[in-house]
């Protein structure tokens, strides 16, 4: 359903496209990025997947596998948001329902008024991570412990009064999916989104089977370079950092998605086609349109500058004007997507009828400098 074709057939300037790929390849050859994978989609056609760098961080590592799997971190969030929208379409959840209706323990510490919409738009006032985030990971805590921590947390501001990125809001969205459907968020995504799209190497948390056998699928997961100034870099963190079996299997709704560039491209095409991939419809057009328009416009208590310059859809970050981080500088006003702390980027631009999947193994937050510069070079190749 995704036909691979030449850059020129996709409406790319071949010289500029080659220069963009050379830029990324140079970063990998110099060690600035351990590995990178690029896939550009226009319409129902793709450039295919271009791979650079190495599979692991070892000096003698083999090249990045052509079937490499990446931990895409917070690109997970809009995919979980798609699952919530399925519940909205089916009349099982409404966006302005209070979270405590589904997770009664959440209604403490002044959080009674937080709604599902607040969680999806980062306007809940919840913290991004729990104060004991690293301690929970070091103890290899289950998801239920993170949910309990979010239920006990205090808000940094009243819901709907500000914008603050909050991963713990997506921990709660995963719990809402579990409460409403009776199955874990990971299972619901597999049944309702991944299987219908034919995604065989995509999972919210790697199943146990991925770690079994003589050639386990887990060997395909590209190793991530830990920032040397991060607590995750220490020897003690090897049992719980991004490269650990614990984290790969946890299935965090805020950052635990494992996938390949080609399969993430299918999810992007589904969004470009307003919920449909080939003959398979996942979401309604109405859901995709709601998810990709500025939800903050209808929140009068949000400061005006935030509503105008830091727009959020439902799980999707809309393009922020005059903000180079991650997305770069050249995308159009209707573009949207997400980035991941592990060094990953997905953007979709309906006006260009294009989507970019750029997955690396070097964390780049908060500015996403390599992602932004590569994005600029690739957008400049689109004619």
pLDDT of amino acid 203 = 98
Given a cut of 80, whether residue 1 has pLDDT beyond it is no
pLDDT band at residue 374, thresholds of 50, 70 and 90?
very high
Q: From the CB of residue 376, how many other CB atoms can be counted at a distance below 10 Å?
A: 17
Q: Domain 78-190 belongs to what architecture?
A: 3-Layer(aba) Sandwich (3.40)
Strands 344-349 and 354-360: antiparallel
pLDDT of amino acid 274 = 97
What's the predicted TM-score (pTM) here?
0.97
Q: Specify the CATH number for 3-71+201-298+319-379; select among 3.30.2130.10, 3.40.710.10, 3.30.465.10, 1.10.357.10.
A: 3.40.710.10
pLDDT of amino acid 179 = 98
pLDDT of amino acid 50 = 98
Token couple for 352 = 């260009």
Task: Render pLDDT for 195-239 as a digit per residue (tens, 0 to 9).
Answer: 999 999 999 999 999 999 999 999 999 999 998 878 898 888 999
pLDDT of amino acid 236 = 84
pLDDT band at residue 273, thresholds of 50, 70 and 90?
very high
pLDDT of amino acid 195 = 98
> What is the pLDDT averaged over residues 247-274?
98
Given a cut of 90, whether residue 132 has pLDDT beyond it is yes
pLDDT band at residue 192, thresholds of 50, 70 and 90?
very high
Token couple for 151 = 């239920």
Q: How far apart are alpha carbons 83 and 173 in whole angstroms?
A: 9
Task: Render pLDDT for 279-334 as a digit per residue (tens, 0 to 9).
Answer: 999 999 999 999 999 999 999 999 999 999 999 999 999 999 888 999 999 999 99
Token couple for 12 = 């790319």
pLDDT of amino acid 287 = 98
pLDDT of amino acid 140 = 97
Q: How far apart are alpha carbons 347 and 338 in whole angstroms?
A: 6
Task: Render pLDDT for 11-55 as a digit per residue (tens, 0 to 9).
Answer: 999 999 999 999 999 999 999 999 999 999 999 899 999 999 999
Angle at 307 between CA 151 and CA 287, to 5 degrees: 70
Task: Render pLDDT for 143-181 as a digit per residue (tens, 0 to 9).
Answer: 999 999 999 999 999 999 999 999 999 999 999 999 999
Query: What is the domain partition of the chain in residue ranges?
Result: 3-71+201-298+319-379, 78-190
Angle at 73 between CA 56 and CA 26, to 5 degrees: 45
pLDDT of amino acid 364 = 87
Asked if 3-71+201-298+319-379 and 78-190 have one fold, the answer is yes
pLDDT band at residue 367, thresholds of 50, 70 and 90?
confident
Phi, psi of 138 (to 5 degrees): -65, -30
- Average model confidence (pLDDT) for the chain? 96
Rg (CA), the chain: 20
Q: Which residue has the tokens 């631009």?
A: 349
């Amino acid at each position: 359903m995704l036909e691979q074709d030449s850059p020129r057939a996709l409406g790319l300037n071949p010289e500029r496209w080659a220069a963009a790929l050379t830029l990324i390849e140079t970063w990998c050859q110099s060690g600035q990025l351990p590995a990178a994978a690029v896939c550009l989609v226009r319409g129902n056609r793709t450039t295919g997947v271009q791979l650079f760098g190495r599979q692991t961080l070892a000096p003698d590592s083999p090249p990045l596998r052509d079937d490499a799997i990446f931990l895409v971190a917070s690109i997970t969030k809009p995919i979980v948001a798609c699952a919530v929208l399925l519940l909205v379409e089916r009349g099982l959840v409404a966006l302005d329902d209070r979270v405590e209706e589904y997770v009664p323990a959440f209604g403490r510490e002044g959080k009674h008024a937080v709604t599902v919409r607040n969680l999806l738009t980062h306007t809940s006032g919840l913290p991004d991570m729990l104060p004991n985030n690293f301690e929970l990971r070091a103890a290899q805590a289950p998801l239920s412990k993170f949910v309990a921590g979010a239920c006990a947390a205090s808000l940094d501001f009243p819901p709907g009064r500000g914008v603050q990125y909050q991963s713990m809001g997506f921990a709660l969205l995963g719990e809402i999916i579990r409460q409403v459907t009776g199955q874990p968020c990971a299972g619901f995504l597999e049944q309702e989104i991944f299987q219908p799209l034919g995604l065989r190497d995509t999972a919210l948390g790697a199943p146990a089977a991925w770690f079994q056998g003589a050639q386990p699928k887990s060997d395909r997961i590209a190793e991530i370079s830990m920032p040397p100034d991060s607590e995750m870099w220490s020897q003690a963190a090897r049992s719980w950092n991004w490269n650990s079996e614990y984290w790969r299997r946890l299935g965090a709704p805020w950052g635990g998605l494992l996938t390949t560039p080609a399969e993430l491209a299918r999810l992007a095409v589904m969004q470009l086609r307003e919920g449909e991939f080939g003959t398979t419809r996942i979401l309604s057009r109405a859901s995709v349109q709601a998810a990709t328009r500025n939800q903050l416009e209808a929140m009068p208590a949000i400061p005006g500058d935030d509503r105008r310059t830091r727009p959020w859809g439902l799980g999707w970050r809309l393009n922020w004007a005059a903000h180079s981080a991650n997305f770069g500088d050249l995308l159009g006003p209707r573009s949207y997507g997400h980035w991941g702390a592990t060094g990953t980027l997905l953007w979709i631009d309906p006006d260009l009828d294009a989507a970019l999947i750029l997955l690396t193994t070097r964390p780049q937050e908060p500015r996403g400098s390599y992602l932004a510069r590569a994005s600029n070079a690739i957008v400049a190749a689109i004619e």
